[in-house]
Structure 1
């Protein structure tokens, strides 16, 4: 009987592979990732997505002493294509947001994480100098640590998703609220419930744009979480929840969700309205604020 069951299970697995339907769930970037694909070679595609995510986490995890980002922050120099790409995007967003998003405050970010983890005195960003950074090809140089966390997870999601591409095949990759190429409805988790049920959602999205969420209810210590405003050093998300949909990629959605979460309400809404290819929902003190086109991405 066991042998027959094993043969049946093997046949079912083979049929699913031939039809092209596969999903894998794994831990990456301190959260749960899901990679799913439909089409020929789906199982191999989601395995590649998982391998890609793990490899990039090893490059971009600043708290892994062997990672390229840790080497950069420790020595002031690294030559790595992915780090250079992320830093280049970060510097561009610093310009476009007038400093509301800025990767050049890594020392403050490290001290803030240590405070959330271990306690002690909350760090201050007062009178801190921002890093001087240069990017030349694949080489990055900096005179102070960088904070790439507002981009890294979205970047990992994007590159894992790219491995799913193939003739007659499509899919999505999700990582802790960041989703590249949604293939079905996405529920925005209710931040006010202690243990939300699957149907306990603020809204359900139906969109082909990439999605990222930053939720202020995931607090760290004394109402302070890892989100901070680089312009002032104010720590802690200012809003209950921010969800962004971005046409470009998940990296952009991730960066802008972080930016809006750290910004005062009016600044956040003004920035989101002015950003081409971006729509946002900001929940502040229980009140929903949406950009003009956000409703176009909500399921009927």
Structure 2
């Protein structure tokens, strides 16, 4: 007979959800939690409507540390990645990024990603970053490792060692700039830079998943926690996955696993 939902056997078989380094901070803000892609994540704080409106009219902050984060280094990096995506990555200049998709041999979408080109060293090695969906992180990593030349390109998985914070909304710069050494206003949409946040190294991109202006920051956990507190103190609204979903829907942005998957081609996805 199958175990009942409340039995010790069924409880022991329930996979343990992962938690981001910001978990204690979101709990302290009385977040309502949910399971998402194997993570225990905040679905809302003060309420979905309030959080949605805050991003559209002012500024909100999201913990998106569950997303996969890969750092690349190697010769002909763009050219090798080019064979796995339909977009022309070779046209990217240092400091530019491209939203694109990883494709399987049938043209199906393995995942939608953002690739950030960081430039070429004197040695001829190119550097880049890639952000992928949390639910497909392992699948994406395996696919990339299977198709990139291991002798010339290295992939460093930063998914659990870095936090990722999104600061989104028309007032994003005014709230974020006091904590960043470099000027943010000159950074164009889908631009990025290696910056200094609260005196520590960080990666900042003018990207997001809300349809609003804003930035996504990759930081060491201790810096991310400190920045989270300082932004809340400055009046930024903490937002959960619920508002992130309504915001991206309103902006007609696809969600992998719901709107697109490995049976969907880029042409079908529009």
Q: TM-score, normalised by structure 2?
A: 0.25
* Structure possessing the higher radius of gyration over alpha carbons: 1
* Structure with the higher fraction of residues in helix conformation: 1
Q: TM-score, normalised by structure 1?
A: 0.23
